Chains A and B, each alone.
Chain A
């Protein structure tokens, strides 16, 4: 995982609640056995007017000009503003993969679905939760100002607006540490290998029926 570094990025607004993982990346693209290449199919059913299937030549597809990410002013966006319960539905990590592959580094919403929220951290995509009042202010600001950009500083847990105003956000200390240092979580866990083995031995003695397939 890459280290999460402070950056300033264009913000795109996706103004609807309950955006589900089927909308983020439709199931036909889940047949891939790879981890990359999902960005061109992010929000496929909203982003294109024709029906998408894996392997299609994207340059020949019909773009939906009304979809927010297709608008010129949001090209190159790295921060997505969203509404409540973003990422609800399935556990597919393909959803955060698609967002990251498209170019997003941060998703800001008033609330996220649990599994999606968790999956984001595992790949270095930062989900930030802000309250509804702040979210409304950000949506208004992004709609009003072209090329509206925010600076995201994870170390100090702060967002800075173009006017220099700062909002702080909460993040779990362990997750922050992993993101900032680009740590391999499996490697970290394996540092506790002895402890896991001891735990397992005890468990096997107490409940041997759990250890049999």
Chain B
């Protein structure tokens, strides 16, 4: 075959991202390659923090939502995780949630209210309800919308102006990203999870490594992951800088969706599945960047700094800024160590913990809770740990965990068992770290002040967080008795 033939074949081979993109382009603003296009949005998820200003502007402009049945709303960021019988005590949080309720009621938008059992973190309930389906474009005013890419969707976070834009037009004005394929090949070791894959990748490419890219996660280790694991991984794509992460559709995807409330049924189900099976990158499709990672080489990960890229392995040490030649990077490390109250050269396993948080859109699904419960079963939280929280991702996750008796395992071990919401991942409600407190957390960001002003976050997997609660320090879950 000559070069031209080869080139045209290459052009016909599409990545999963190409396929999802091409399916949704309504109009191109210019003839430029990678210029602005009008992209159709199938599913719009809405929560209380980033929507009020969008609804207000929409109303002021005299506009109405383009397609109400594309929207699913839920309050998650501000909700209390303790007893909800008396509503929300913080008047500012309450106003924000009341505003969401009023906007949804006025416009006829489906909303799971705070006391609905289906309420939960927006990125947990979408998939749980079958409201996230392969082939969709999914947006939400929340950066962790990348989570939904686990279903072979194009899913990404947007700002409030774009929330309004999607409400008004069912479209976004946007630009195609470059494509990156990260293949994780081989078998993960015992006690190593999707969270560790995510942190290991971020450690390798950095928090800006994925900027300007949509990442497809592939390879045998990804194919072996459950949907929960794939969601954890795609959730963290944004921490690598990529707006969107995605995984091809396979039997694991299809069997997860089957029977969910908003999933198609009967003849439509068969038609849908036939289409969904095409949602994978063609063999030989070209990516702008590719990376291959050996699954067997990934060890449990722990962050030591104030950015998810400041991460090392459980048998590692706090690095020394003096070893870094780049001035800006060195200064950032120094600031991070000062904030975190850590010294260069300290063993990661010598870091003691004040609080433990198991929850967030990264790690609050049933599989996460099972993994943590397995570690704590028959043991007790260390006396030095002031608070160990389990916050299920949704009311339905909570219910299922209770059916399996996980709540009793956590409670017997000294954990608190809470109501669903974002909770101490970003501390917009009362769940937070106090100044100087150190937390082993299954959430996604260890930024300064993220879990509470002056709070110190170490990002880990659910099993590692559970192990830290028992030991009172960061410890290798693989060696915990």
Contact = CB atoms under 8 A, between A and B. Distances in A.
A16 B268 contact: no
Interface in A38-73: 45, 51, 54-55
A91 B141 contact: yes
A32 B280 CA distance: 41
B67 A200 contact: yes
Interface stretch (A5-13, A144-152, A154-162, A183-191): A183-191
A30 interface: yes
B320 interface: no
Contact of A27 (B57, B243, B426): B426
Contacts of B243: 114-115
Nearest to B109: A213
B77 to A, nearest CB: 8
Given A83-B328, A115-B143, A210-B133, A88 B26 contact: no
A113 B241 contact: yes
B442 interface: no
A186 B164 contact: yes
Interface residues of B, number: 90
B262 A212 contact: yes
B143 A90 contact: yes
Nearest to B78: A31
B257 to A, nearest CB: 10
A93 interface: yes
B71 interface: yes
A22 B450 contact: yes
A16 B328 contact: yes
A89 B169 contact: no
Given A27-B427, A91-B50, A119 B159 contact: yes
Contacts of A16: 328, 331-332, 335
Given A91-B141, A189-B38, A115 B207 contact: no
Contacts, number: 210
Interface string A113-129: 11100110011000000
Contacts of B71: 213
A170 B426 CA distance: 35
B264 A90 contact: no
A83 B326 CA distance: 13
A33 B53 contact: yes
A18 B241 CA distance: 11
Contacts of A172: 35-36, 175
Given A33-B96, A115-B157, A207-B272, A174 B29 contact: yes
A53 B218 CA distance: 44
A190 B168 contact: yes
A31 B428 contact: yes
A123 B161 contact: yes
B354 interface: no
A23 interface: yes
Interface string B315-350: 000000000000011011001000000000000000
Contacts of A94: 160
Contact of B447 (A22, A35, A188): A22
Best-buried of B169, B241, B263, B331 by chain A (most CB within 10 Å): B169
A208 interface: yes
A83 B63 CA distance: 39
B184 interface: no
Interface in B22-64: 26-27, 29-30, 32, 35-36, 38, 40, 42-43, 49-50, 52-53, 56-57, 61, 63
Nearest 7 CB-CB pairs, A to B? A209-B264, A93-B159, A122-B161, A119-B159, A91-B157, A33-B52, A85-B208
26 contacts: A18-B208, A18-B332, A27-B428, A33-B96, A33-B99, A35-B56, A85-B208, A85-B241, A91-B158, A91-B159, A92-B159, A93-B53, A111-B211, A115-B157, A122-B159, A122-B162, A172-B36, A173-B32, A173-B35, A174-B36, A189-B38, A195-B26, A196-B38, A209-B272, A210-B43, A213-B262
